[in-house]
Amino acid sequence: MIDATSLSRTVDAVNLAVFERRKLPAGERKQVAEWIVGRQGLPGAYADTFAGFPREREHGIVVFTGERITSASARHILGEETCRSLQLLRVRDAGVKAALSRASDGLMGCLERAAQDPRHTNPGLYCCGKCSVGLWRNLLAGGLDRQEERLRRGAAHLRSMRDGAGEWRRFPFWYTVLALSEMECPEATKELEYTAPALRAAAARAPGSTAYARRRQELATRVLGRI
């Protein structure tokens, strides 16, 4: 599960296990969590979270649904996603808990500074669409604070971002659908209903040749079964 040259691919492996509903052995969960924690505070880490490797900092990362994220957004989203992974691994080790607490404090500091900007009136958003989805993913795993409020306000914002063709402006489509699929608020359900035609088209296609295409098709099928 650990990719010794990539934090993002290691996080991707954790996300895949969760997506496939696989139960990981306690020893493996602890090993992965401790390896992630070893990346804390290294060059390129965002707000005392966990740093990607030089190639990831240079070329960006690919999130679970296949969208490539680059620059500062990649550092931020990787920080949110690693915190999410540590939450989902549920390792009781004191060192892992302390590292997650430091990372969460760092991200909370960023949210608090953003809230001081008078233009920032929605606590469910952070700087841009893709970074907001990264924030939602961490909140969904139990990270940070005011989870229900932030998720509902964030999902509600998507209505104003609809492009009329089943997607949203400035929000990466599949990564956004992935986050919405885990939300249980009516605001998220309305956005999934809005995008249902696009999801039906994706679900009806022939199986994709890449792992990301197969994940997207499975995600579309699951969401359609929910709405």
pLDDT digits (tens, 9 = 90+) for 181-209: 999 999 999 999 999 999 999 999 988 89
pLDDT band of residue 99 (cuts 50, 70, 90) is very high
pLDDT digits (tens, 9 = 90+) for 17-41: 999 999 999 999 999 999 999 999 9
What local confidence, expressed as pLDDT, does residue 188 receive?
A: 98
- Distance between CA 193 and CA 164 in Å, rounded? 13
The two structure tokens encoding residue 209: 């040749």
Domain ranges of the chain: 7-226
What local confidence, expressed as pLDDT, does residue 8 receive?
A: 98
Residue corresponding to tokens 């039906």: 200
pTM, rounded to two decimals: 0.97
On the CB side of 39, CA atoms within 13 Å amount to 30
98 residue type, one letter: A
Other C-beta atoms lying within 10 Å of the C-beta of residue 67: 19
| Residue 137 contacts residue 79 (beta carbons within 8 Å) | no
DSSP annotation string for 100-165: HHHHHHHHHHHHHHHHTSTT---TT-BSBHHHHHHHHHHHHTT-SS-HHHHHHHHHHHGGGGB-SS
pLDDT digits (tens, 9 = 90+) for 43-56: 999 999 999 999 99
Average of per-residue pLDDT values in the chain: 97
Residue 119 has pLDDT above 90, yes or no: no
